Chain A
Amino acid sequence: MVSYVVFLLVVAGIYALLAQSLCLAWGVTGLVNLGLAGFFAIGAYASATLTKWGGAPVPVGLLAAMLAGAVAGFVVCVSTLRLRDDYLAIVTLGFAEAVRVVASNEIWLTGGTDGISGIPAGLPRDWGQGFHLAALGIVTAILGLVWFALRRLVASPWGRALRAVREDQIVAAVAGKRVTRLKAEAFAIAAAIAALAGALYGHYTSYIAPEIFQPLITIYVFLAVTAGGNGRPTGAAIGAYLLIAFLEATRFAAEILPGVSAVQAAALREASVGVVLILLLRLRPRGLFPERNQKAPA
């Protein structure tokens, strides 16, 4: 039971990192990034290929993943400069699918649909429980760092400018903010965080394949960020932990229900996610930790 909870905490920590990414791009800057799973995949593949086939140490892999994510994020953002809202959402969704299709067809680079197995973890896996606890420590520490940095960034003048862009980019431009540059910076940093999450996922579970990076991941993270409060890193992180707790709790709840077939139980689990989302948006539209208004500097 303990190791199950530890495993869930690691996975939830990785989701919380994704939530940090989405919090910055969507919550703070207003860029609807439905391509989260794509950046997640880019990070996972960058680090896995470098460490498994290139023999690089895992920390180098993590850095390379962030770099790859940032570059991809920059390219996506710059090539969609004139798109906002729904249009940006559709393009980023397409980007994530493109990443997945490339990963399943460029066999020389990614191993194709077989994926990459036996990815080194940087820690000896035969530590048993110790390995999982160490992984939990590392993922949580990285999450803590990212959370702390993001809080500082969001509270800084730069963060304020991002929120101005989110609310009305024309007004922000008139006020002398360099909208394009701000958006590109925020999007690239967000993509780098998502890529870091992907790299950690690959090293921890030792196996990645294109079918892992389905749009469902993006949807789940949107759910987590919406639940937690999309403008605050704290809310996004807590939302991710609550999401994993909820998803796993439905597994046990479905077992307790009598006379429900396996298919019905699966459908009920999915339905319950939808019901909770609707209730949440009805009762707490701005999430558990709504964004606070910042006082203007005196």
Chain B
Amino acid sequence: MSLTRRLVLGAAAGTLAVPYVVRAQAETFRIGALNPITGAGSPYGTGMQRMIQAAVEAINSAGGVNGRRIEVFAEDTQTSPQAAVLAAKKLIEVNRVRAILGTWSSGVSLAVIPLTNEADILLMHTSGAPALSTPPANAKNLGYRYQATNDRFGRAFAEIAVREGFRRPATMAFNNASGIGNTDGFRRAWAAKGNQNGEHVVYEPNQPSYRAELLRVLSTRPDVIVMGSFLPDTTIILREWFQTGTPVKWIIPAWAANPQLVQALGPAVTNGIIAVDSVSNEGAEAFTAYDAAYRRAMNQPGASNVYAAMTWDMANTLALAIEQAKSFETAAINAAIRRVANPPGEAVSAFAAGKAAIAAGRKINYEGASSVLDFDEFGDVTPDFGVFFIENGQFNRRYVVKI
């Protein structure tokens, strides 16, 4: 028992020492990187955290913001609202962070946003739930969503289905706000075009097999299946579908249909899948810079983790907004975010360039690695959607859909 007690005491003593260690350093602007390192979000979380750190490194080497360095404190949400709340409270109260970046699932963001509102700091997240746009969650307008809402993704899917001439679409959704948001958005938009919706199946997470759900959908003989899904479940579903030998097309969001999926299943299974993402311009300079940073940190292409591109943009927009606000106060920074991210203005794709332009008194418009990043009054983005066809393991972009 003495060992345990010593462990607990030692760790508790360490806890007490933390604020002094923090205070001993020069004045910095502190941000929290609160990402899903473990749990359902783990395929994305580490990359998200590394890209916040990489972007901050670039910002600091460009002289920091308003003369201060940005300091990153990282925590794991465990993709669990309850664990995330404890981690967020620690970031806010112990590390005294002034913004939290990169919460992933909607449940986590909805659980964390009351804490950030109470502390009067910004929350930048990648969650899809519509509830995050409006009160009570976004009562103070301090929440920013870097991902297009799932409803908008759904609308883009409907445009694609029309353009590809599909007649009998079925939908499958992972049972969370994000998954159902995608398929509901699709079904609404599809019905609004005067079409008939097909079978709709919502499946529970963490199943070893989705054969029952899949057969229910396939038995209605759809010509396309529109997914609201994530990487692990999509991998299983596509494998089981391929074994059935039934011909059908797939429309899948790019966070699930990514190079890792192709790597797991091979080019034969994934051939012809339509992957949809919000990177408006893969030639964008911000994307090139992000992609290089992602390859350095994670040894994988940047396109394999759309959420990491979003966290890269979070750090950059936040830094530019601080630079624009000439202040470290939340209200001033919040007011400056749309000013640096939205048109009109000189398009910039990196912090250093934006900082120089702001110093020269010019209005800037940050064009991000994840999308053009123009925020509406709710703090949501409406990007254009890139439509990719997976052919022989390659992602070939065919066209862009605007909604």
Q: Digit string of A92-115 for contact with B (CB within 8 Å is 1, else 0)?
A: 000000000100110000001111
CB-CB < 8 A to B177: which residues of A? 112-114
| Residue pair A251, B107 in contact (C-beta under 8 Å) | no
- Interface secondary structure of A, over-half rule: helix
| Residue pair B82, A212 in contact (C-beta under 8 Å) | yes
Q: Which of B107, B135, B137 has its CB near the most chain A CB atoms (within 10 A)?
A: B107
Q: Digit string of B1-38 for contact with A (CB within 8 Å is 1, else 0)?
A: 10110011001101100110000000000000001011
Question: What is the bound-complex CA distance between A248 and B177, given in angstroms?
Answer: 29
**How near does chain A come to B140, taking the closest CB pair, in angstroms?**
12
| Residue pair B12, A245 in contact (C-beta under 8 Å) | yes
CB-CB < 8 A to B46: which residues of A? 261-263
| Residue pair A283, B4 in contact (C-beta under 8 Å) | yes
Question: What is the bound-complex CA distance between A250 and B83, given in angstroms?
Answer: 13
B149 proximal to A (CB < 8 A): no
CB-CB < 8 A to B18: which residues of A? 252, 255
- Interface secondary structure of B, over-half rule: helix
Q: Digit string of B338-351 for contact with A (CB within 8 Å is 1, else 0)?
A: 00000000000000
| Residue pair B111, A209 in contact (C-beta under 8 Å) | yes
**How near does chain A come to B18, taking the closest CB pair, in angstroms?**
6
Question: What is the bound-complex CA distance between A122 and B106, given in angstroms?
Answer: 26
For A261, the closest partner residue in chain B by CB is: B46
A296 proximal to B (CB < 8 A): no
Q: Which of A3-11, A24-32, A149-157, A168-176 contacts B (4 or more CB under 8 A)?
A: A3-11
| Residue pair A279, B3 in contact (C-beta under 8 Å) | yes
Q: From the candidates B8, B114, B118, name the one contacting A249 in the complex (CB within 8 A).
A: B8
| Residue pair B38, A113 in contact (C-beta under 8 Å) | no
**How near does chain A come to B293, taking the closest CB pair, in angstroms?**
16
B295 proximal to A (CB < 8 A): no
Q: From the candidates A4, A125, A270, A279, name the one contacting B93 in the complex (CB within 8 A).
A: A4
**How near does chain B come to A290, taking the closest CB pair, in angstroms?**
12
| Residue pair B80, A211 in contact (C-beta under 8 Å) | yes
Q: A115-B107, A261-B46 are in contact. Are A211 and B81 (CB under 8 A)?
A: yes
Q: Can you offer 11 A-B residue contacts whose CB atoms are under 8 A?
A: A114-B110, A118-B137, A206-B136, A207-B114, A209-B111, A214-B82, A242-B8, A246-B11, A262-B76, A270-B38, A276-B4
| Residues of B bordering A, CB below 8 Å | 1, 3-4, 7-8, 11-12, 14-15, 18-19, 35, 37-38, 42, 45-46, 49, 74-76, 78, 80-82, 85-87, 89-90, 92-94, 105-107, 110-111, 114, 118, 129, 131, 135-137, 175-177, 180, 202, 204
